[in-house]
Chain A
């Protein structure tokens, strides 16, 4: 990858992130944090590439294995618990 393209993508994504997050209601800051947590477990992609590389050494496999386990734990628990929290937010009209 070209470094300049990478930095370009980083710059744009940061601005998009800042703008979007600013609009998130403080009501939902806790679910927001568990959601971004799950999303940042995208490092699972890197972990798969490391573990699954052709001729990966034992060290790579073991470290990659731990990394995938940690990331998948985050993905699964992050998305599920966010949804569990959001289900609890109800408006008054919807009750009864």
Chain B
């Protein structure tokens, strides 16, 4: 029976790999989910078959509660709240890893069982990563849910404090590895890891959440991986490594999309720096009404819509869909240009637009569409700001200089729906708004798009 378990694990690992592989295209992605589900089922079955499992009442009760909590979360959660849910599940996953590590440590100590050094190293890493990811993810969730302030919370010598704390935690970890019988160290070590997770995330601003979420994803995977080493279980190592590398790649993509390094995201306290930069002088700009905007859109041959997080906040995705339909019916070619950091987590904007039934072949990535702006009649910016700022290309003194942006300013006409002239997240003034070809459309994104749609049918009837 024991061998059977290992063979089942091999199949399960292969299914996990296939599951991620099938995510490369929307056509096969649902098969990927199915394969992942079977893989997980087999992993659990294999574990139960290969080991003598006791205390079934505890295990089944936990399964029941977990399922009872998980199902409603999956179906009730609105798509705009997916980043929070993701942060929450990083927290849950990390907590599970940390608690298993803790239980294993106390179990071995109680039985006076000497764990090999590498198992202790793995246990220490598992609990460190697990606990810090747990509180870190809770903080990220709080910021995304706007229970906590989105602005970075900073204080003097913050990086020094964090560094010292980390050194102490690491030192205790090393001590635990060398003298596993020093039981008093463990709770202190766990406590420091928990505190460190909080301190690590509070200085990070809302705009950097896509990177942070991806990074926490990676940590959660690595702590599961460490658990694999601690328990001598290769399936855990494989699944944890897959998750870890996925989080790593996503955070690298996010960093590149903002032209920032990991260290800068983690220790830079972004929003803070530019607060003083924002004092811009009054510059002239042009604004337009919904009626004028509708006339321009109707006369256009091609329109590129640039959605940003503001669109999600205004819940405007369904109105945008109506605008899209109505323009497409008039023979206007409408595309969507998606910046990699649009939204609050990697790929978030695509999900929101897909939810509104906009076909995914109309959603274009930055690199694929940037060349098209030059030939495009109208670029309509909705709720996006910094990712369209030409200063990123031209102004060396700008904090966002070097960040890859959507070349919205190359379109023949630019229209920007915005509540007011207030600068965005990073607090940087956007030159795009003051260009001669730019029309500012002031108002709530959802309401304004609604008005444009109302203006459109009247014209067609005429």
| Chain B residues whose CB sits within 8 angstroms of the CB of A72 once the complex forms | 62-63, 65-67, 70
A34 engages B93 (CB within 8 Å) = no
A23, B26: Cα distance in complex, Å: 12
B231 engages A49 (CB within 8 Å) = yes
In the assembled complex, the CB of B73 is this many whole angstroms from the nearest CB of chain A, namely: 4
A20 engages B227 (CB within 8 Å) = no
Binds A, one of B38-46, B157-165, B176-184, B278-286: B38-46
- Among A3-25, those with CB < 8 Å from B are 3, 5-6, 9-10, 13-14, 16-18, 20-25
Indicate which residue in B37, B102, B238, B247 contacts A36 across the interface (CB closer than 8 Å).
B247
Instruction: Give the A-B contact count at a CB cut-off of 8 A.
Output: 372
Binds A, one of B52-60, B143-151, B267-275, B404-412: B52-60
A52 engages B246 (CB within 8 Å) = no
| Chain A residues whose CB sits within 8 angstroms of the CB of B97 once the complex forms | 43, 46, 67
* Contact A85:B354 (CB < 8 A) given known A9-B238, A17-B245, A40-B224: yes
B227 engages A43 (CB within 8 Å) = yes
Is B362 interfacial (CB 8 A cutoff)? yes
Is B195 interfacial (CB 8 A cutoff)? no
- Please, which residue of chain A has its CB at the minimum distance from the CB of B41? A75
- Type the 1/0 row for B83-122, where 1 means its CB is closer than 8 Å to any CB of A: 0011001101101110110111011001000001010000
A48, B306: Cα distance in complex, Å: 47
Q: Is the interface of A mostly helix, strand, loop or mixed?
A: helix
B234 engages A6 (CB within 8 Å) = yes
Binds A, one of B345-353, B372-380, B423-431, B432-440: B345-353
* Contact A41:B96 (CB < 8 A) given known A34-B82, A36-B246: yes
Is B296 interfacial (CB 8 A cutoff)? no
A56, B354: Cα distance in complex, Å: 48
* Contact A70:B92 (CB < 8 A) given known A6-B232, A80-B75: yes
A28 engages B54 (CB within 8 Å) = no
- Please, which residue of chain B has its CB at the minimum distance from the CB of A41? B93
- Type the 1/0 row for A50-87, where 1 means its CB is closer than 8 Å to any CB of B: 11111111011101111111111111111111111111
* Contact A26:B24 (CB < 8 A) given known A72-B66, A73-B66, A73-B70: no
Binds A, one of B166-174, B212-220, B390-398, B441-449: B212-220
B44 engages A18 (CB within 8 Å) = no
A40 engages B243 (CB within 8 Å) = yes
B36 engages A35 (CB within 8 Å) = yes
What are 12 A-to-B residue pairs whose CB atoms are below 8 Å? A6-B228, A14-B244, A20-B20, A21-B250, A25-B25, A27-B347, A38-B36, A52-B55, A63-B99, A67-B100, A72-B62, A91-B360
What residues make up the interface of B, taking CB atoms closer than 8 Å to A?
13, 16-17, 19-21, 23-26, 29-30, 32-33, 36-37, 39-40, 43-44, 47-48, 51-56, 58-59, 61-63, 65-67, 69-71, 73-75, 77, 79, 82, 85-86, 89-90, 92-93, 95-97, 99-100, 102-104, 106-107, 110, 116, 118, 213-214, 217, 220-221, 223-225, 227-229, 231-250, 253, 338, 340, 345-348, 350-351, 354-355, 357, 359-363, 365
Q: Which 6 A-B pairs have the closest CB atoms?
A: A72-B66, A29-B347, A76-B70, A17-B245, A1-B232, A80-B74
15 more CB-based (< 8 A) A-B contacts, given A60-B107, A70-B92: A1-B232, A17-B20, A17-B245, A21-B246, A21-B249, A30-B351, A39-B239, A42-B240, A46-B233, A48-B44, A51-B59, A52-B55, A64-B62, A70-B66, A70-B95
